[in-house]
Each structure stands twice: as structure tokens, then as C-alpha cells.
Structure 1
């Protein structure tokens, strides 16, 4: 009974199982290998870096050893979670991660030229067009930095992520790459301008900033952002989530600043019709790169960037439509009374048609902008305005195929109605018809020589030309009727010399009067 009383309550230590012994021995060997390599590459006597042009084999050996150690630790934990050797192995893993993190940072900084987003995007473009051998030959000697830098970064990232140190790796990557993105955007003259700031700028200064923005967006999207997307996807190819997160953190702030600028410009209340074309330049530039933006910023984490682009396009569209209304209003309010000397082309005609011909150069953009912008009228418009179909009078929706054609046709009609009114002050009716003919011919010439011809259609031009001919016929009848009636009714009939002399004198008199009256008149 006494022996039983003094017996220990704890069971005697069990002998290590064969599985435990093998797992521990394997881990010890792996730990020794990693420790030896760490000592080698962190020694003060070493004058080389682990990831360099001359040590790729050693770098691969190091990463392989770290992976083996990590895997052996997992095997030992599954057998003996509290094994003392695990603590030493964990310390060795930490030292290995410290070395890899240091190398990751160094490779990112040392190979900045090779990892430049534009260079990365160019190499990606080349690789899609040429064979591997062509690419290697074409790129030989082009970069002074390590051509394996991207693969080195990927190797380090894969190792750190697989061993549970993704956060440290991504933090270094984001810090260095974001500074490069911000610096590059600054070199593109991209500024973080608020609406309040923009509202205070004179137009000349703002126009300069718009020009800088146009250059920046055409560089940033296809080279900077695209290059960063490729680099992040390559380095963190082991995890799409990490790649998206890293890319988003690097580019979001700069991208939002770049893509918000057009929205703020579109919000300005001081945009007049003359500023239409710079606004369209911005819309066109952003619309042209939009497919690339959707492809580059293709993850849910980049939804804010894509939404900003959409909002900017929407606000620019609103601004263009608003300026178009102001342009139409300016035509309607034009109130000059003084007749144009000689029945020449009125300044309103020149202004309106030059404006519309420039506008037609943005045909693709305005077609989209005007697509759902319905022209509401309470009365029919004349058939001569439109290119096809309809009766003598028809609504534009019945005879035109697109909202942009309807809108442009409507503006031309507004202008022609004003020109009709400006023919009234001429005291000579013949001159008023010449004035109408000249102005309508100017419209025809402008339509024919610009993209308006494509938007309005050839039949529209033909109808206007027919109307020009009618104006000319009336002008000729009124201006030269007396000259023509002074001639014999039948020029082939025989007449007496006296009668011929009368016709000759009458013709000379009427011709001289017509000539003196019309010497200063203008025929386009």
C-alpha cells in the first residue's frame, strides 16, 4: 500500500516514435542547410548578393532549402507539435525571411530601369509578337540591369507567401512601386486638383493643364498602369488576390487623381461653346483608353477607378450637351442688322458652319454623346434639311437615322432661318437672292469638305444645291432680266439695221446699268 501511495501520478516519458525521430532528423538537416546558406550570404566577407547575375543557381538552392525546411517543420508539427527543435527552426525561418525581404527590396530598387512600367509593357508587347528566340536576340544588351529581375522577384514572393510571410513581402513591394508610380505621374504633370481649385483658374491656364492631362492619360494607361499590372501579376502569380491587392494599392491614388480631372472640368459652370473642342478632346482621349482601363483595372478592388472613369465620361457628355444648347441659343440670339456688303457670306454662317465642321471631326464621340439626347420640337421641319425620306415636311426622327444627324441638321436649320431674316434689309431684291445663294452655297461647300457630309448624307447636300440653283435663277431674272429683254426675241430672225441699232443701244444701256450696280456684288 505504501509503495502505491508514493508512486508518481505522471506516466513515465514515452520513447520517441520512429515517425517523430525521422521527422525531427529531417528537419534538423534542413535547418542546418538553411542556416549555413544564411551565414554564407550575410557574412561581412561576402561581396556578392544572393540574387544577382552570377548567383542565380545559389539563389534557387537557397529558396529550395527554405521551402524544404518549412515543409519539414509542418511534418514534425503533425507528429509532435511541442518539439523543442521547432523553436530553433522557426528562428532560422525568420532569419531566412529577413534575408529574402532584404533581397526583394534590393532587387526592386537596383533594377528600376528594367522594371520601369513602360519597359515591362514593351517587353510584354514584344513577347506577344515574336518567338522567344527573337525576343532574346532583339533584347540582348538593351537593359543594363538584371534581365531575370522579374523572375527573381517572383521566386522570392512565392517563397515568402508559401511560408506565411506574404504581408511583409507585399508591404515592401507596395512601398517601392507606389513611389515610382507617383513619381512617374508627377513627371507627366498630373496634379491632384479639386473642383474648387479648378474653378479659380483662368481658361488659358486650365487649357494648358488639359493639354498636359491629354498627354498624361495617353502615357499612363498603356505604359504606366499596364506595366504595373503585368509586373504585379507576374511577381504574385501564385495568388491572384495578392496581385490585385498590390496593384490596387500602388495605382489607386494616382489613377483616381488622373481620371477625376475631366469630371471636375466637366462640372465647371463657365464652359462656353468655344471650349467645346477641348472638352471633346478629353472625352475622346478617355473613351479611347477605356477598353484598356477595363482590362487593366479588371478586379473588384479596382471598382472605384472604373467608376471614376465612367463618372468623368458622363460629366463630360453633360458638358458637351450643355455647350451645344448654348451654341444653338447663341445662333438664335444673333441680332446684327447691318447687311453684308455685296451679298457676301454672313459672319454667322461662317461661324456656325466652321463650328459644325470642327464638331464633325469628333463624329464618333458626338455620336455616342448625342445618342439618347432626343430633339423635342412642336412643329415639323422642312424636307430640304434632311437627307432622305419624308414628305415636303417631316419630323427629323422620320427622315434621319441618328440623333447626331438630327441635332446637326437642326442647328443648320436654325442658322438658315436667321440668314433668311438677314436678307430682308437689302433694298435690291436681286441682291437679297444673291445673298441667300452665297450663304447656302457656303453651307454646301462646308458640308462637302468635312465629315458633315458623312453625318448628314449626300442627299441633304443635293437638296441644298437644288435650292441654291433656285436662288440663282431668281437672282438672274431680277438682276439681268432687262438686259436679256433688250435683245431680240428671236435672235435668228432678220431685222432692219435701224431696229438692230435700237436693240444694240438698249442692250448697252441696260448692261451698263446692271454692271455698275453689280460691280461690287459677290458671287461665291
Structure 2
């Protein structure tokens, strides 16, 4: 027999509820006779249907589900229960001690036992279709199609819900939810709500607890977490970050939708069920971040702490909506508490990070004047912090920035014209941390014996900072003004390096390279230049410009100042020196050789072999006329 729709079955008036005109009524009391006849027929109809599905009397009923066997008969069963209840109300008014009332009560107990069994079977058999993922994913469909509308559509054409607009899983889920609601309404109305609720709580709580277990949510004490190695705890945090997303968007959301639907006619029962089913797991889930926040704090842990903060912050609107009941206020409070504790932990770690920079006491100069490990560590750290700028802005919104005495003005780290909003506050704080490390580097530059080397060191490190800022979210936070200011500072350091590092070489040449002078004087200039250039070359072959772009710019700049001037001197006095000594061997370098030598510097290799190589090249050039 084809299955018919729920609307015709569930809401079509039963012919047994309204006796036909063929029923005879004594003329002496027509109203009473009609009422009595209606009551008796309702009881008898209920008796026959309830007996049919009494598991104690029928093996078929014992192994078969009423709602799966015949949905029309299932609706008739619920109608019969309502009719029986109406009859019992009439009997109470007539004689509260009558045998008929006792029999009706016993019959009602059997009916409730059957509905209790059906309720449990639907919940158990449809675990897959009533899992929170399915329920939450089709919430929009539920909003569009009310239960009554669905029943009506199902009655007229069940196949319409198996089409493209709704999946089979969603269709079965909607049917199960409608059945559960119908049974719950019937049992609650008959005074058996406690039995219905008990079954619902047991089954649904087991589903929620099992889901949380599979998500990796486990109840842990602070002492357990405190004893964990950070690597182990970090794995736990990663598991938790996935768990909160699924739990909020699917598990708890779906459970709230289901309980609100099944017990739609009793808000208090819906609240009690949802609260008891989810509160234990939710408290465990949202309590974990608070325990992490209480653990020992080191700057390296800040990023996972920010991940935890961000996860709660992003999901907070849904958490607040799902756990909006008074009975679930503890869940909301726990989420807020974890958020506050995580924020405090982040602020502590930021303070410790700044303190660690200022306390760095390493005095060994970086070989070649390259990028200091402190610079790399701090900038990588701050770059990652910039990726959390939105969360950090919330955390530091009301946290005053206490700045120690600095050798640089506030304008060095505070961009002009920025409004005092949460976003600018985090920008200022990050700029301040960069300033702290730059000031520390100023002190470390003094460990270099050669002043030029110290300026190269400062240029290398500031260039590293600028590149890190420009190629990350820091560039957006700090802005073009900040970048332009610090790029100009790099150029200033480079200029000072060139002046201090190459001034002696340039001063070895005459102010006017093309001026006439005796060969002997030209020879002295030439010897002085050779000695100065080789000294600087050998020294700066061990120095380094860490970034290739910066290295090329420095070499081009040095060459532009040195080679043209030397070329003028070389061309002017080469022939004279040859006549005076019979050879031009005193001219160890041709102008082209200088460029080749300069191409060797600032790699930090210290390859002295290149000197002899280029010297051989200049010897070949010396034979030219």
C-alpha cells in the first residue's frame, strides 16, 4: 500500500470522532446521550487501536514500529489518544471514581508505553538523520517549510521532497523531527512529559558526548595541562581549534534546533533538555582555553594563545545565541572568562617579549656586520603578530602603552595623523617593539672597531626590518610614512658607511685628477691609492651586505664615486709614469679592474685569492700603450 502524506493522516478529522446522524439518541436527553455516545466511541476506537499495538498482546507490535509500518495509522493512533484523553476529562466531571475512568486510565498507560517506545525507536533509528550536522545544515530549509506545511505537502505528494530541492537525508530528518514533535506533544498533553523528556535526554546526550569525544574534547584538570610538554599541549590546542568550530557551527547548533523543534509547544522543556544535554560538554570545551591561559607564559606561546582567543571571539555571536537560556548562562560565562584570561596572558607575553629584547646582553659582533640574530627573531615574531592584528587590537584596546625613555622621538614610531582607535593602537605598539630592537642594535653597533663597519651593520639590520615590514601585514599597519622614514634612514647609514669606509681611498687621489703634476708626485699619489684601496678591499671582502639589492646599490654607489675619478687620473698620468720609470707597473689597477674588485666586496667571504687574480689582470692591462 503506498505511503500517504502526513497532513491528511495527522490533521484530517477522524470519522470516529464525530458520529454520523444514524446514531440514535433518546429524546429525553439528546445532549447527554450524544456526549456519552461520542465518549464511548472514542474509548472503544482507542481501545481497539491501542490493543493492536500493545507489545504485550501482539508479537507483531513487539517487533514493528508503528510510525514505520503505517504513517496513516500512526496519526490515527495519536488522534485516538487525544480522543481518549477527552473522554477521560468528561468521565472525571461525571464520576471521578467510576470503573470507566479507571479502565480509560489503564488504557492511556498502555498507549503512553507504546508512544514511549516509538519515541525511543525514532530517536535511536535515526541517529544518522538526526545528527547535529544534518539538523544544523538544513536549518534554512526548516525555516522555509513549517511542520504543518511539510505535513500537508507530504500528504499530497511525498515525492516532491525527494527532488533536487531537498536531499533524501534531509527528507527523512524532517519526517523524524515531525514524528518526534507529534509524539512529544501527545505525551506532554497526556501528562507523560517526564517519561518523554527522560528518553530524549538520555539518547541525545549520548550522541553529543560521543561527538565531543570523537572531536578530541576531554575533561582535564589544570595540573594535567601544567605537566604537559609544550609540544603535547600544542597538539591539544590544534585539536581544540578544530573542535570548537564543529561544536559551535554543527553540534550545539543542531542540538538547539532539534530540542526547540521537538518541544516547540513547551519552551521550558526545550530549555531543560538542551541545557542538560549540552552543558557538561560545553563547559569542558570552553573551559580548556582558560586552563591553557593559566600555564607558564613564554613569548613563543603567544601565537597559540591568540589562536584560542580568536576562535572564541569569532564564534562568540553563535555561542551567545545557542546558549541564550538562563540555565546555560554558565556556558556563556565560561567562554567570556576564557576570553579574558587569554587576553591577560597575551598582554603578559607581550610585556615579557619587550623585556627580553631590552635585556639581551650579547656583545659578540655579527661576522661581517650582517643581520643580527636578535633582529631576525624579533622581526619574525612581530611579523606573525601583525597577522593577528584584529584580535590584538581587541586585546590591547584598553591597555596603556608605557614607553621607557627612548633616544628617538615619539614620531619615530607613531605615524602622524592617525586617529586613536583600536587598530592604530596595535600599530603603535608594534612600531614601539621595532623601535626597542633598533635602539638595542644601536648599542650593538659600538662593538665594531671600524666605524664604517658599524654603519654597515646598522644599514643591514634596518634594511632587513624595512623589507620585513613592506612584505607583510606590518606594511599596512605601519603605513607608507613609517616605511619612507626608515628607508631614508637606511640610505643615511649607507652614506656614512661609504664616507667612513672609502674616504681614505678617495682622498688618496688628487682633488683635481686631470691637473698637471710631475711624474714623481703622480707616482706618490698612485702608490698611496694602491695601498689604500688594497687595504679597504681586503677588509671589506670579509664584510657583508645581507640583501642583494642593498649590496648592488652600495657597489654601484661606490663605483660611481671612485672609478670615474680614478679613470681621469689614470688616463692623465699613465704615459708620464711610463716614461719616468720605463714601465707603468706602479699603476696596479686599471679603471676596469676597480669595478671587478668592487664586485667581490660585501659577500663576507674574505677570499684574498681574488686580489692576485685581479692583479694579474691589471698586469696584462699595463702592457697597453
Secondary structure of the structure 2 residue equivalent to 1:430 = helix
Q: Structure 1 pair 146/181, CA: closer, same or farther in 2 (3 Å)?
A: closer
Q: Structure 1 pair 129/330, CA: closer, same or farther in 2 (3 Å)?
A: farther
Question: Quick check: 1:389–1:399 contact (8 Å CA) kept in 2?
Answer: no
Give the alignment partner of residue 164 of structure 2, picking from 122, 133, 137.
Answer: 137
TM-score where L is the length of structure 2:
0.75
Secondary structure of the structure 2 residue equivalent to 1:148 = helix
Q: Does 1:279 align with 2:305?
A: yes
Counterpart for residue 51 of structure 1: 67
Q: Structure 1 pair 496/134, CA: closer, same or farther in 2 (3 Å)?
A: farther
Q: Does 1:315 align with 2:337?
A: no
Within 5 Å, which residues of 2 pair with 1:136-285?
136-137=163-164, 139-142=166-169, 148-268=175-295, 270-285=296-311
Question: Quick check: 2:138–2:170 contact (8 Å CA) kept in 1?
Answer: no
Deviations 1:476-512 (A, max 9, x none): 1101112223345356x56468476665554443222
Question: Quick check: 1:151–1:235 contact (8 Å CA) kept in 2?
Answer: yes
Q: Structure 1 pair 85/345, CA: closer, same or farther in 2 (3 Å)?
A: same
Q: Does 1:77 align with 2:99?
A: no
Q: Structure 1 pair 506/277, CA: closer, same or farther in 2 (3 Å)?
A: same
CA distance, structure 1, for counterparts of residue 173 and residue 353 of structure 2: 58
Question: Quick check: 2:413–2:435 contact (8 Å CA) kept in 1?
Answer: no
CA drift of 1:58 comes to 0.8
Deviations 1:136-155 (A, max 9, x none): 43554458967621111111
CA drift of 1:48 comes to 2.9
Question: Quick check: 1:23–1:76 contact (8 Å CA) kept in 2?
Answer: no
Deviations 1:157-200 (A, max 9, x none): 11111222211111100011001111111111111001122122
Deviations 1:9-58 (A, max 9, x none): xxxxxxx9765544333222111111111111222244531111x41111
Q: Does 1:38 align with 2:22?
A: no
Q: Does 1:456 align with 2:478?
A: yes
Q: Radius of gyration: which is bigger?
A: 2
Counterpart for residue 116 of structure 1: 131
Instruction: Tell me the C-alpha RMSD between the 2 structures.
Output: 2.8
Q: Structure 1 pair 408/49, CA: closer, same or farther in 2 (3 Å)?
A: same
Q: Structure 1 pair 399/412, CA: closer, same or farther in 2 (3 Å)?
A: farther
CA distance, structure 2, for counterparts of residue 195 and residue 313 of structure 1: 17
CA distance, structure 1, for counterparts of residue 485 and residue 143 of structure 2: 52
Counterpart for residue 441 of structure 2: 419
Q: Does 1:304 align with 2:330?
A: yes
Deviations 1:261-302 (A, max 9, x none): 11011111x221111111111111222211111121122121
Q: Which runs of 5+ in 1 are unaligned?
A: 1-15, 391-395
CA drift of 1:85 comes to 2.2
Q: Does 1:408 align with 2:434?
A: no
Q: Structure 1 pair 294/404, CA: closer, same or farther in 2 (3 Å)?
A: same
CA drift of 1:402 comes to 2.8
The 10-residue stretch of structure 1 (305-314 or 64-73) with the greater mean CA deviation from structure 2: 64-73
CA distance, structure 1, for counterparts of residue 130 and residue 277 of structure 2: 14
CA distance, structure 1, for counterparts of residue 477 and residue 325 of structure 2: 38
Question: Quick check: 1:24–1:85 contact (8 Å CA) kept in 2?
Answer: no
CA distance, structure 2, for counterparts of residue 173 and residue 215 of structure 1: 28
